[in-house]
Amino acid sequence: MTPELLDWLLDADPALRWQVERDLACAPDDVWRATRTSVATEGFGARLLALQDPDGQWAGGAYFPAGFLGDEEGQPWAATTWTLTTLRDWGLDAAELSGTVEKLAANSRWEYDDLPYWDGEVDCCINGLTLANGAWLGADVSGIAQWFVEHRLADGG
């Protein structure tokens, strides 16, 4: 990697910069961990945290934004599941979302069949994201884990 490319990558939002510091620049742990901490207070991470609804959701919905009818072009990536996945991928400390597990348990329902958020849905991809996000946040997602066991296909998938 050229020094110019590394400099360019290091001149990025904290959500990317900490990973570049850790994985490409081989920075000491205290350096990249400090940058990772700033995901909550700077840049993209801070912006997403600021957009959380008072009920714990983002964009008023579990998988789709409130009011999404399905006939709009493209996938709406602004709702709760997508935002939690993004924040987790960006390295946000789950403690920054204190109270979110409880708020989602009380207020968020899946658009399909109105199922409780932490109980999962009927789609394996959605359940995979919810299982990972719930484990990250400390939610009881044991029911979703069991759902995967019960829905295992004959070929192992």
Q: In this predicted model, what pLDDT tens digit does every residue of 60-118 receive, in sequence order?
A: 999 999 988 877 776 678 999 999 999 999 999 999 999 999 999 999 999 999 999 99
Q: What is the CA radius of gyration of the chain?
A: 18
Domain of 74?
55-157
The verdict on 62 and 42 lying in the same domain is: no
Identity of residue 106: A
Q: How many domains does the chain have?
A: 2
d(CA 155, CA 10): 44
The verdict on 63 and 77 lying in the same domain is: yes
pTM of the predicted protein model: 0.93
Please say whether the beta carbons of 75 and 85 come within 8 A. no
The verdict on 28 and 100 lying in the same domain is: no
The verdict on 22 and 95 lying in the same domain is: no
The verdict on 104 and 151 lying in the same domain is: yes
The verdict on 142 and 126 lying in the same domain is: yes
The verdict on 8 and 60 lying in the same domain is: no
d(CA 17, CA 12): 5
The verdict on 2 and 45 lying in the same domain is: yes
Identity of residue 41: T
User: Can you read off the two tokens belonging to residue 143?
Assistant: 């029911």
Q: In this predicted model, what pLDDT tens digit does every residue of 2-57 receive, in sequence order?
A: 999 999 999 999 999 999 999 999 999 999 999 999 999 999 999 999 999 999 99
Please say whether the beta carbons of 118 and 109 come within 8 A. no
Instruction: Return the DSSP state at 5.
Output: H
User: Can you read off the two tokens belonging to residue 47?
Assistant: 């912006």
Q: According to the model, what pLDDT value does residue 157 have?
A: 82
The verdict on 92 and 126 lying in the same domain is: yes
The verdict on 118 and 156 lying in the same domain is: yes
The verdict on 39 and 104 lying in the same domain is: no
* CA-to-CA dists, residue 137 to 30, 53, 63, 101, angstroms: 23, 17, 17, 7
The verdict on 16 and 59 lying in the same domain is: no
Q: Which residue has the tokens 């979703």?
A: 144
